[in-house]
Amino acid sequence: MPELPDITIYIEALERRILGQALKQAKILSPFLLRTAVPPIEAICGHKVTALKRLGKRIAIGFENELWLVMHLMIAGRLHWKPPVSGDGGISKKRGSRSKLAAQQAVFDFDSGNLVLTEAGTRRRAALHLVQGESGLQALNRGGLEVLECSLDDFARVLGSENHTLKRALTDPRLFSGIGNAYSDEILHRARLSPVTLTQRLSNEETARLFEAVREMTSAWLERLRSESGDDFPENVTAFRPEMAVHGKFGKPCPVCGTKVQRIRYAENETNYCPRCQTGGKLLADRSLSLLLKKDWPKTIEELEEMRAGAR
Protein backbone atom coordinates (compact mmCIF):
# COMPACT_ATOMS: atom_id res chain seq x y z
CA MET A 1 0.00 0.00 0.00
CA PRO A 2 1.42 3.43 -0.89
CA GLU A 3 2.40 5.20 2.33
CA LEU A 4 3.39 8.73 3.35
CA PRO A 5 6.49 9.06 1.12
CA ASP A 6 4.78 7.49 -1.92
CA ILE A 7 1.57 9.51 -1.52
CA THR A 8 3.58 12.72 -1.10
CA ILE A 9 5.48 12.05 -4.33
CA TYR A 10 2.22 11.33 -6.16
CA ILE A 11 0.78 14.64 -4.94
CA GLU A 12 3.86 16.62 -5.93
CA ALA A 13 3.75 15.08 -9.42
CA LEU A 14 0.03 15.83 -9.73
CA GLU A 15 0.49 19.44 -8.62
CA ARG A 16 2.85 19.97 -11.57
CA ARG A 17 0.28 18.50 -13.97
CA ILE A 18 -3.28 19.29 -12.90
CA LEU A 19 -3.22 22.21 -10.46
CA GLY A 20 -5.19 25.00 -12.14
CA GLN A 21 -6.42 22.61 -14.83
CA ALA A 22 -10.11 21.94 -15.47
CA LEU A 23 -11.32 18.35 -15.38
CA LYS A 24 -12.88 17.68 -18.78
CA GLN A 25 -14.48 14.36 -17.93
CA ALA A 26 -14.29 11.53 -15.42
CA LYS A 27 -14.87 7.92 -16.40
CA ILE A 28 -15.48 5.46 -13.56
CA LEU A 29 -14.88 2.03 -15.08
CA SER A 30 -15.45 -0.11 -11.99
CA PRO A 31 -18.82 -0.27 -10.19
CA PHE A 32 -16.96 -0.89 -6.91
CA LEU A 33 -14.67 2.14 -7.01
CA LEU A 34 -16.90 5.16 -6.25
CA ARG A 35 -18.22 4.84 -2.70
CA THR A 36 -20.40 7.98 -2.65
CA ALA A 37 -23.49 8.83 -4.72
CA VAL A 38 -24.05 12.46 -3.74
CA PRO A 39 -22.71 14.67 -5.15
CA PRO A 40 -22.46 12.82 -8.49
CA ILE A 41 -19.05 12.46 -10.12
CA GLU A 42 -20.21 14.75 -12.95
CA ALA A 43 -20.31 17.64 -10.47
CA ILE A 44 -16.53 18.16 -10.72
CA CYS A 45 -16.37 18.05 -14.52
CA GLY A 46 -15.63 21.46 -16.01
CA HIS A 47 -14.15 22.76 -12.77
CA LYS A 48 -10.52 23.61 -12.06
CA VAL A 49 -8.30 21.86 -9.52
CA THR A 50 -7.44 24.33 -6.76
CA ALA A 51 -5.62 22.17 -4.20
CA LEU A 52 -4.11 18.77 -3.49
CA LYS A 53 -3.65 17.33 0.00
CA ARG A 54 -2.49 14.15 1.65
CA LEU A 55 -5.02 12.75 4.11
CA GLY A 56 -3.18 9.90 5.79
CA LYS A 57 -2.72 7.41 2.94
CA ARG A 58 -5.34 9.16 0.81
CA ILE A 59 -4.94 11.70 -1.98
CA ALA A 60 -7.44 14.56 -1.88
CA ILE A 61 -8.01 16.69 -4.98
CA GLY A 62 -9.92 19.93 -4.38
CA PHE A 63 -12.00 21.70 -7.03
CA GLU A 64 -13.13 25.31 -7.33
CA ASN A 65 -16.74 24.40 -6.47
CA GLU A 66 -15.54 23.21 -3.02
CA LEU A 67 -15.83 19.53 -3.85
CA TRP A 68 -13.05 17.11 -2.96
CA LEU A 69 -12.23 13.90 -4.82
CA VAL A 70 -10.52 11.58 -2.31
CA MET A 71 -8.60 8.53 -3.50
CA HIS A 72 -7.56 5.59 -1.33
CA LEU A 73 -5.36 3.28 -3.41
CA MET A 74 -5.25 0.50 -0.81
CA ILE A 75 -2.79 -2.34 -1.54
CA ALA A 76 -2.97 -2.74 -5.31
CA GLY A 77 -4.18 0.64 -6.58
CA ARG A 78 -1.75 2.82 -8.54
CA LEU A 79 -1.86 6.09 -10.47
CA HIS A 80 -0.47 6.68 -13.96
CA TRP A 81 -0.13 9.75 -16.12
CA LYS A 82 -0.75 9.53 -19.85
CA PRO A 83 -0.36 12.19 -22.55
CA PRO A 84 -3.59 13.55 -24.02
CA VAL A 85 -5.44 11.13 -26.30
CA SER A 86 -8.05 12.50 -28.68
CA GLY A 87 -11.25 10.89 -29.87
CA ASP A 88 -11.67 8.15 -27.25
CA GLY A 89 -12.68 9.95 -24.08
CA GLY A 90 -9.22 9.72 -22.56
CA ILE A 91 -8.80 5.95 -22.93
CA SER A 92 -6.21 4.92 -25.48
CA LYS A 93 -7.02 1.89 -27.58
CA LYS A 94 -3.28 1.30 -27.96
CA ARG A 95 -2.56 1.21 -24.25
CA GLY A 96 -1.93 -2.49 -23.92
CA SER A 97 -3.47 -5.93 -23.71
CA ARG A 98 -7.00 -6.78 -22.65
CA SER A 99 -5.76 -7.67 -19.13
CA LYS A 100 -4.04 -4.31 -18.72
CA LEU A 101 -7.15 -2.46 -19.86
CA ALA A 102 -9.23 -4.46 -17.38
CA ALA A 103 -7.00 -3.12 -14.57
CA GLN A 104 -8.09 0.45 -15.32
CA GLN A 105 -10.63 1.56 -12.75
CA ALA A 106 -11.00 5.24 -13.58
CA VAL A 107 -9.72 7.83 -16.05
CA PHE A 108 -9.70 11.58 -15.40
CA ASP A 109 -9.25 13.63 -18.53
CA PHE A 110 -7.48 17.03 -18.41
CA ASP A 111 -6.13 19.15 -21.26
CA SER A 112 -2.65 18.40 -19.93
CA GLY A 113 -3.15 14.63 -19.96
CA ASN A 114 -5.04 11.73 -18.45
CA LEU A 115 -4.82 10.54 -14.86
CA VAL A 116 -5.48 6.79 -14.80
CA LEU A 117 -6.24 4.78 -11.67
CA THR A 118 -5.50 1.06 -11.98
CA GLU A 119 -5.81 -1.83 -9.57
CA ALA A 120 -4.02 -5.16 -9.92
CA GLY A 121 -5.66 -8.48 -9.10
CA THR A 122 -9.33 -9.29 -8.76
CA ARG A 123 -10.08 -7.91 -5.30
CA ARG A 124 -11.40 -4.38 -5.66
CA ARG A 125 -10.37 -2.42 -2.58
CA ALA A 126 -9.34 0.96 -3.99
CA ALA A 127 -11.93 3.62 -3.24
CA LEU A 128 -13.03 7.06 -4.40
CA HIS A 129 -15.15 9.46 -2.36
CA LEU A 130 -16.56 12.76 -3.63
CA VAL A 131 -17.37 15.01 -0.70
CA GLN A 132 -18.54 18.57 -0.11
CA GLY A 133 -16.32 21.13 1.58
CA GLU A 134 -13.78 20.94 4.35
CA SER A 135 -16.23 19.23 6.70
CA GLY A 136 -16.77 16.40 4.21
CA LEU A 137 -13.02 16.08 3.78
CA GLN A 138 -12.33 15.93 7.50
CA ALA A 139 -14.97 13.24 7.95
CA LEU A 140 -12.54 10.94 6.09
CA ASN A 141 -9.57 12.00 8.19
CA ARG A 142 -8.55 9.30 10.68
CA GLY A 143 -6.83 11.95 12.80
CA GLY A 144 -3.34 10.52 13.06
CA LEU A 145 -0.39 12.71 14.08
CA GLU A 146 1.75 14.09 11.25
CA VAL A 147 5.16 12.70 12.16
CA LEU A 148 7.22 15.28 10.26
CA GLU A 149 5.37 18.18 11.88
CA CYS A 150 5.17 17.12 15.53
CA SER A 151 7.40 17.49 18.57
CA LEU A 152 8.89 14.67 20.63
CA ASP A 153 6.42 15.43 23.42
CA ASP A 154 3.45 15.14 21.04
CA PHE A 155 4.85 11.91 19.60
CA ALA A 156 5.38 10.41 23.07
CA ARG A 157 1.89 11.39 24.19
CA VAL A 158 0.20 9.77 21.20
CA LEU A 159 2.42 6.69 21.31
CA GLY A 160 1.60 6.03 24.94
CA SER A 161 -2.10 6.84 24.69
CA GLU A 162 -2.92 3.16 24.10
CA ASN A 163 -0.97 0.06 25.09
CA HIS A 164 -0.31 -1.68 21.77
CA THR A 165 2.70 -3.29 20.15
CA LEU A 166 4.96 -0.82 18.40
CA LYS A 167 4.11 -2.31 15.02
CA ARG A 168 0.38 -1.90 15.59
CA ALA A 169 0.75 1.61 17.03
CA LEU A 170 2.87 2.93 14.16
CA THR A 171 0.44 1.59 11.56
CA ASP A 172 -2.73 2.76 13.33
CA PRO A 173 -4.06 5.70 11.27
CA ARG A 174 -5.84 7.06 14.36
CA LEU A 175 -2.45 7.50 16.02
CA PHE A 176 0.01 8.28 13.23
CA SER A 177 -0.73 9.53 9.74
CA GLY A 178 0.57 7.75 6.67
CA ILE A 179 2.76 4.99 8.15
CA GLY A 180 2.03 1.46 6.97
CA ASN A 181 3.45 -2.03 6.93
CA ALA A 182 6.58 -1.39 4.88
CA TYR A 183 7.96 1.78 6.43
CA SER A 184 7.10 0.67 9.97
CA ASP A 185 9.46 -2.29 9.50
CA GLU A 186 12.22 0.05 8.36
CA ILE A 187 11.58 2.51 11.18
CA LEU A 188 11.70 -0.15 13.89
CA HIS A 189 14.90 -1.60 12.44
CA ARG A 190 16.52 1.84 12.44
CA ALA A 191 15.36 2.38 16.04
CA ARG A 192 16.64 -1.09 17.08
CA LEU A 193 13.31 -1.91 18.69
CA SER A 194 11.23 -5.08 18.66
CA PRO A 195 7.96 -4.80 16.75
CA VAL A 196 6.12 -6.55 19.62
CA THR A 197 7.34 -4.27 22.42
CA LEU A 198 4.37 -2.63 24.11
CA THR A 199 4.18 1.13 23.74
CA GLN A 200 3.66 1.83 27.44
CA ARG A 201 6.78 -0.14 28.36
CA LEU A 202 9.16 2.05 26.37
CA SER A 203 11.72 4.09 28.25
CA ASN A 204 12.12 7.78 27.52
CA GLU A 205 15.34 7.01 25.66
CA GLU A 206 13.65 4.36 23.50
CA THR A 207 10.76 6.70 22.72
CA ALA A 208 13.20 9.41 21.63
CA ARG A 209 15.08 6.88 19.53
CA LEU A 210 11.87 5.79 17.83
CA PHE A 211 10.87 9.41 17.21
CA GLU A 212 14.19 10.13 15.51
CA ALA A 213 13.93 6.93 13.46
CA VAL A 214 10.45 7.87 12.24
CA ARG A 215 11.61 11.29 11.11
CA GLU A 216 14.90 10.07 9.62
CA MET A 217 13.39 7.19 7.64
CA THR A 218 10.41 9.19 6.38
CA SER A 219 12.61 12.10 5.27
CA ALA A 220 15.23 9.82 3.71
CA TRP A 221 12.67 7.93 1.65
CA LEU A 222 10.98 11.15 0.56
CA GLU A 223 14.28 12.43 -0.80
CA ARG A 224 15.13 9.08 -2.40
CA LEU A 225 11.77 8.89 -4.20
CA ARG A 226 12.00 12.52 -5.32
CA SER A 227 15.45 11.83 -6.76
CA GLU A 228 14.26 8.68 -8.53
CA SER A 229 11.22 10.31 -10.13
CA GLY A 230 12.67 13.69 -10.97
CA ASP A 231 10.13 15.48 -13.16
CA ASP A 232 8.61 12.20 -14.36
CA PHE A 233 5.41 10.79 -12.95
CA PRO A 234 6.21 8.10 -10.32
CA GLU A 235 5.53 4.70 -11.85
CA ASN A 236 7.67 2.44 -9.65
CA VAL A 237 5.48 2.69 -6.54
CA THR A 238 6.02 -0.50 -4.56
CA ALA A 239 6.30 -1.67 -0.96
CA PHE A 240 9.32 -3.82 -1.79
CA ARG A 241 12.49 -1.94 -2.65
CA PRO A 242 16.03 -3.33 -2.87
CA GLU A 243 17.35 -0.49 -0.68
CA MET A 244 15.15 -1.48 2.25
CA ALA A 245 16.90 -3.05 5.21
CA VAL A 246 14.36 -5.62 6.41
CA HIS A 247 10.96 -5.19 4.76
CA GLY A 248 10.47 -7.97 2.23
CA LYS A 249 13.95 -9.30 3.02
CA PHE A 250 13.06 -12.54 4.83
CA GLY A 251 16.05 -14.87 4.87
CA LYS A 252 18.46 -12.22 3.59
CA PRO A 253 21.26 -10.74 5.68
CA CYS A 254 20.61 -7.68 7.79
CA PRO A 255 22.72 -4.84 6.32
CA VAL A 256 23.90 -3.91 9.82
CA CYS A 257 24.88 -7.22 11.43
CA GLY A 258 24.51 -9.87 8.72
CA THR A 259 21.95 -11.96 10.65
CA LYS A 260 19.17 -13.38 8.47
CA VAL A 261 16.01 -11.29 8.54
CA GLN A 262 13.02 -13.05 10.12
CA ARG A 263 9.28 -12.45 9.82
CA ILE A 264 5.94 -12.85 11.53
CA ARG A 265 3.09 -13.57 9.13
CA TYR A 266 -0.52 -12.69 9.90
CA ALA A 267 -3.50 -12.42 7.57
CA GLU A 268 -2.20 -10.76 4.38
CA ASN A 269 0.60 -8.86 6.11
CA GLU A 270 3.94 -9.70 7.61
CA THR A 271 6.38 -8.05 9.97
CA ASN A 272 10.05 -8.25 9.06
CA TYR A 273 12.78 -7.75 11.65
CA CYS A 274 16.39 -8.52 12.51
CA PRO A 275 16.60 -10.76 15.60
CA ARG A 276 20.11 -9.56 16.40
CA CYS A 277 19.53 -5.81 16.06
CA GLN A 278 15.97 -5.64 17.38
CA THR A 279 15.13 -8.52 19.72
CA GLY A 280 18.40 -9.42 21.42
CA GLY A 281 18.77 -12.66 19.43
CA LYS A 282 15.28 -13.91 20.27
CA LEU A 283 12.94 -15.21 17.59
CA LEU A 284 9.40 -13.89 17.64
CA ALA A 285 6.77 -16.60 17.34
CA ASP A 286 5.14 -16.82 13.94
CA ARG A 287 1.62 -17.90 14.84
CA SER A 288 1.23 -20.57 12.15
CA LEU A 289 4.71 -22.05 12.48
CA SER A 290 4.84 -21.94 16.27
CA LEU A 291 1.51 -23.78 16.46
CA LEU A 292 2.86 -26.37 14.06
CA LEU A 293 6.20 -26.87 15.80
CA LYS A 294 4.91 -26.28 19.36
CA LYS A 295 7.73 -27.16 21.79
CA ASP A 296 10.20 -27.51 18.92
CA TRP A 297 9.81 -23.83 17.99
CA PRO A 298 13.30 -22.26 18.29
CA LYS A 299 13.54 -19.45 20.80
CA THR A 300 16.79 -17.86 19.56
CA ILE A 301 18.58 -17.33 16.28
CA GLU A 302 21.21 -19.84 17.43
CA GLU A 303 18.58 -22.55 17.94
CA LEU A 304 17.15 -21.79 14.52
CA GLU A 305 20.56 -22.17 12.88
CA GLU A 306 21.11 -25.48 14.72
CA MET A 307 17.70 -26.72 13.55
CA ARG A 308 18.53 -25.81 9.96
CA ALA A 309 21.95 -27.40 10.15
CA GLY A 310 20.44 -30.64 11.50
CA ALA A 311 17.93 -30.75 8.66
CA ARG A 312 20.64 -30.71 5.98
> What is the C-alpha separation between 181 and 246, in angstroms, rounded?
11
The amino acid at residue 304 is: L
Q: Which fold has domain 152-306?
A: Helicase, Ruva Protein; domain 3 (1.10.8)
Q: Between the CA of residue 273 and those of 54, 165, 231, 250, 279, what are the distances in Å?
A: 29, 14, 34, 8, 8
pLDDT digits (tens, 9 = 90+) for 4-33: 999 999 999 999 999 999 999 999 999 999
Any residues with CB less than 8 A from the CB of 273 and at least 6 apart, and which? 185, 188, 189, 194, 195, 246, 261, 262, 263, 264, 279, 284
pLDDT of 297 over the 60 cut: no
Q: What is the pLDDT of residue 287?
A: 56
Percent of the chain at pLDDT > 70 equals 85
Residue whose C-alpha is closest to residue 259's, from 243, 278, 244: 278
Residue whose C-alpha is closest to residue 58's, from 152, 140, 155: 140
Q: Where are the beta strands (DSSP E) in 149-302?
A: 262-266, 269-273
CATH number at 4-138? 3.20.190.10
> What is the C-alpha separation between 248 and 229, in angstroms, rounded?
22
pLDDT digits (tens, 9 = 90+) for 180-193: 999 999 999 999 99
Q: Where are the domains of the chain?
A: 4-138, 152-306
Q: What is the pLDDT of residue 289?
A: 47
Span 248-253, average pLDDT: 96
Q: What is the chain's mean pLDDT, rounded?
A: 89
Q: Are 220 and 8 in contact (CB under 8 A)?
A: no
Give the CA angle between residues 212, 213, 216 to the nearest 5°: 85
Q: How confident is the model at residue 285 (pLDDT cuts 50, 70, 90)?
A: confident
Q: How confident is the model at residue 93 (pLDDT cuts 50, 70, 90)?
A: very low
Q: What is the pLDDT of residue 298?
A: 54
> What is the C-alpha separation between 304 and 297, in angstroms, rounded?
8
